[in-house]
Amino acid sequence: MKNRDKWIAVAFLVFILVIPLVTVAGNILPGQQGDALTEAEKAVLENNGTITEGVGTQTESAGTTAQGSLTEVTGFARLQKGINQFTDGLFGRTKLISFNTGLTSMLTGGTYIESTQTLKGKNNMFFYKTELDGKPIWDYMGINHFTGEEMAAIAANLTATRDHLNAKGIEFYTMCIPNKEIIYAENMPDTIARVNEVSRGEQLADYLHENTDLVFVYPKEALMENKDKIQLYYSTDSHSNQVGAFVNMQEFFRTVYGTHAEIDSVTFRTDATDYAGDLVTMAGLTEKYPIDTVYVFEQDSADKAQYHDQVLLFVGDSFGGFLSQVCKGYYKEVYWEDARDFQYSMLERYNPDVVIWERAERYCEVFAEPILIK
């Protein structure tokens, strides 16, 4: 028995020491990092805006905010960045992640997986539980509401932005896309308790509607009304699919133009039925859960009565990329720029008639940042 325990201890020490040493060697010697994400997996994360660099992605990365302005880089931030870079490149990392999530899933009868970023819910639906890329679980729990002062600051900034762009002859609107957890709450694990069913995004929408004349579209009700007709968010991904994006844009059209089209009035092409999204990619479960259908909006099926002979510019996050694809059926020209890369000079480059500032609910605090005012 004693000998067995010694061998187990030796094996454990070898395991925890060899992996870092091999990682260091791989970082020193070119071409030795053989266990990184595949190109296909990188494409999934990058295209969806959830690939991470340093401490965060959409909200902030080391040294810059989401708008690219300089921030103080503390010694702790540098240390954290170094740790993250090292752990992201650990030898065998993706295989270990896959093994760990698979093991915990097996031991719990498929009801739980161990992942720092992915939460498995009911009916094989996965959710984003990170706290480094917004706090979607806090939004769902209702424990991070804005203060009155914070909402007043957002209202002031959005009003100033609208007035500034209107003076330049540009229409300005704001969209906040609900987190997946809010729309599919019935698939969230019972272990995640909701303190308040009014999320931060809904709280902000109610405040702006009651206290300002801004157009702030938070399409929760439209999504709830349509979610039983067809799936609107991917099961394995943190994003809505293009059907969900269509519902979001139709709520925008209803609010701004007074027009509306139902899902069954347009056509969606099925491009794949075995899509594995960003959440299962981060958990190392792409081979186990290639279960999503990819719908693509057929732009020619858009109602011509809803067409606008205008140039539209989206400024936002990865949800804006999905929305912009739908809008290409309804506007003369459509452009999309990630808010992290937006420069004021882009207004002159694109010369838009309409600007939509869009953010997913988990990033809605950034509506206080004056990125669209020179």
**Residues 340-371: pLDDT tens digits?**
999 999 999 999 999 999 999 999 999 999 99
3-state secondary structure the chain: CHHHHHHHHHHHHHHHHHHHHHHHHHHHCCCCCCCCCCHHHHHHHHHCCCCCECCECCCEECCEECCCCECCCCHHHHHHHHHHHHHHCCCCHHHHHHHHHHHHHHHCCCCCCCCCCEEECHHHCEEECCCCCCCHHHHHHCCCCCCHHHHHHHHHHHHHHHHHHHHCCCEEEEEEECCHHHHCHHHCCCCCCCCCCCCHHHHHHHHHHHHCCCCEECCHHHHHHHCCCCCCECCCCCCECHHHHHHHHHHHHHHHCCCCCCHHHCCEEEEEEEECCHHHHHCCCCCCCCCEEEEEECHHHCCHHHCEEEEEEEEECHHHHHHHHHHCCCEEEEEEEECCCCCCCHHHHHCCCEEEEEEEHHHHHHHHCCCCCC
Q: How many CB atoms lie within 10 A of CB 25?
A: 12
Q: Which residue has the higher pLDDT, 99 or 183?
A: 183
Tokens of 15: 């395991």
What lies within 8 Å, CB to CB, of 97 at 6+ separation is 115, 283, 284
**Which pLDDT band holds residue 43 (cuts at 50, 70, 90)?**
low
Tokens of 13: 């020490």
Residue 110 has pLDDT above 60, yes or no: no
**Which pLDDT band holds residue 374 (cuts at 50, 70, 90)?**
confident
pLDDT value for 17: 52
pLDDT value for 52: 38
Q: Are strands 268-275 and 292-297 parallel, antiparallel or unpaired?
A: antiparallel
Q: Is 17 left (phi over 0), alpha (psi -120 to 50) or beta?
A: alpha
How crowded is the C-beta side of 187, counted as CA atoms within 13 Å? 21
pLDDT value for 48: 52
pTM, to two decimals: 0.75
Tokens of 291: 């279960």
Amino acid at site 45: L
pLDDT value for 73: 40
Q: What number is the average pLDDT over the span 234-254?
A: 98
The distance between the two most distant Cα atoms of the chain, rounded to a whole number of Å, is 81
Beta-bridge partner residues of 60 = 65
Q: What angle do CA 80, 83, 86 make, to 5 degrees?
A: 150
**Which pLDDT band holds residue 115 (cuts at 50, 70, 90)?**
confident
C-alpha dist (Å) from residue 307 to 111, 171, 290, 304, 319: 46, 16, 36, 5, 22
Q: Which residue has the higher pLDDT, 65 or 94?
A: 94
Determine contact, residues 194/141, Cβ cutoff 8 Å.
yes
Residue 293 has pLDDT above 70, yes or no: yes
Query: Could you tell me how many residues make up the chain?
Result: 374
How crowded is the C-beta side of 135, counted as CA atoms within 13 Å? 11
**Which pLDDT band holds residue 116 (cuts at 50, 70, 90)?**
confident
Q: Are strands 60-61 and 292-297 parallel, antiparallel or unpaired?
A: unpaired
CA dihedral 207, 211, 215, 221 (to 10 degrees): 40
**Which pLDDT band holds residue 2 (cuts at 50, 70, 90)?**
low
The overall average pLDDT reported for the chain is 81
Tokens of 181: 């957890």
pLDDT in tens, 262-284: 999 999 999 999 999 999 998 99
Q: What number is the average pLDDT over the span 321-343?
A: 95
pLDDT value for 11: 55
pLDDT in tens, 208-238: 999 999 999 999 999 999 999 999 999 999 9
How far is the C-alpha of 108 from the C-alpha of 304, rounded, in Å? 52
Name the least confident of 79-83, 138-142, 315-319.
79-83
- Percent of the chain at pLDDT > 70 equals 70
What lies within 8 Å, CB to CB, of 256 at 6+ separation is 173, 215, 217
pLDDT value for 31: 45
pLDDT in tens, 126-165: 999 988 899 999 999 999 999 999 999 999 999 999 999 9
